[in-house]
Chains A and B, each alone.
Chain A
């Protein structure tokens, strides 16, 4: 008999779900129980949800402001806000999306308030800047020239577009949800993701160094 590999039933579950429809919520249904317990004030359930999302929330927050204290304050306010709305006992069917919507609003309020205190901070088109950098740690695996190209690919994107790319790669959100968070059309999100990824692949594959023309196009659209 061949060596049997037992898949955890959760994995099998998502495998079946996702095969039917690829663009689906990646959170498993077991989160509902945790969420309900958290709403009732259970510390363990809070820890479970907190540790599942805190890295993402922190990383996203640090792209809206460089002030880590502000980011941590916003994370705290987010959890208190959710618990204060205790009449809402419906479990969100996508927790990260639900958290991110409230979190962005809370954090932006803080950023705005801080800006009016320190007017020397530069402000972006929508009242905030979304900072996106290519990870320097990865430069060793890929030639310097290509890194520069990737950096300029990123730098020519405006704040909203950077946010889209970040959310696509690190949040697990689907196009419609990203569109809602960023405030643009789902079709534009999809188009932007496809274009950025194909430009990136062209760079990596050495196909065309003169891609600057293409980047400028993306930036304009």
Chain B
């Protein structure tokens, strides 16, 4: 038993042995990345323990569904009986828009208006792009304001707000939506529809990401899937919805808003974030390329609040907290500036 107690004591290990799931397997891959020398003993122990199986009586899928419906029906009946009034939270009732006096220093504007014909629908679209290294602000015909983070593209029909309000997003943007009860606004990204009346919220949907994140500052938004009628989630102020694209699942939790919304003012806020997530953000913000020599660096955690700091200062701070060395290879007209991170 010597040496294996810490695995036996860990509920996540036992869960991996007897009830493996994608999430758990991913956790252990992550763990092995950090502790490569433990991989052999842990996987051997897992395979050994898997031989020790206990009969688990299973409830059939139909029976499970029947029972769920029966319970839900009883719950409804009980609620009526006790005359419970179920009201939404008071926060829902206001969808007020307050204009933020935002001071954006060092903000670059870049808007490309190219009313190009959309091949599929024949509709005319306007495209706005914030290139890497830029944050752009865009005001739509209905006075809705959009902040585009670096490397983001939004597209909307030229007849926007005439009959409907639809926006297509690739990247990250903060929306301050003008209230219009008769005409909800929808943001489409990666198969997901974020539907709103009037509100302020952030959508993070860069291409290549496994997840889409929506953070709501005030008002009310709905997450929908155009092709899936049962998919319908309400988001409340202060919450972040995390949509996993591959599994199609949504999880929500309360978050510290500043962390997700301050980018509009040029801030980058990292709280114990793995370098894996930090690197793409820095690449977009500074329009550079970052390469790592050893993938273990991806697992190092980085905490910082950054605003307008020269890039080299941030590298110094990364070098210190993640114990790595860095080397800058200056770019030219054709190549981006490149940074190489190597373990100390």
Contacts and interface: CB of A to CB of B under 8 A. Distances in A.
B18 interface: yes
B184 interface: no
Contacts of A173: 11
A198 B1 contact: yes
A167 B1 CA distance: 20
A166 B51 contact: no
Nearest to A6: B210
B292 interface: yes
B58 A55 contact: yes
Interface in B172-194: none
Contacts of A158: none
Interface in B242-289: 242, 244, 251-254, 272, 274, 276-277, 279-280, 289
A9 interface: yes
A55 to B, nearest CB: 7
Interface stretch (B70-78, B93-101, B219-227, B327-335): B70-78
Contact of A75 (B31, B67, B298): B67
Nearest to B30: A15
Given A79-B75, A134-B54, A8 B67 contact: no
Given A172-B14, A197-B49, A133 B54 contact: yes
Interface string B25-50: 01100110010000000000000110
B105 interface: no
Contact of A41 (B11, B12, B84, B242): B84
Contacts of B84: 41, 86
**Would you call the interface of chain A mostly helix, strand, loop, or mixed?**
helix
Interface string A69-109: 00010011001100110100000000000000000000000
A154 B252 CA distance: 42
Interface residues of B, number: 67
Contact of B55 (A76, A133, A194): A133
A8 B23 contact: yes
A219 B74 CA distance: 44
A205 to B, nearest CB: 8
Interface stretch (A20-28, A119-127, A209-217): A20-28
Contact of A142 (B19, B51, B58): B51
A208 interface: no
B59 interface: yes
Given A10-B242, A83-B75, A194 B251 contact: no
Interface in A1-36: 1-2, 4-12, 14-16, 18-19, 22-26, 28-30, 32-34
A43 B54 CA distance: 33
B72 A43 contact: yes
Given A26-B11, A68-B59, A72-B63, 9 more contacts: A4-B279, A8-B242, A41-B75, A46-B71, A51-B68, A63-B57, A76-B67, A80-B75, A204-B48
Interface of B: 1, 5-6, 8-12, 14-15, 17-19, 23, 26-27, 30-31, 34, 48-49, 51-59, 63-64, 67-68, 70-72, 74-75, 78-79, 84, 86, 209-211, 232-233, 239, 242, 244, 251-254, 272, 274, 276-277, 279-280, 289, 291-292, 295, 298, 301
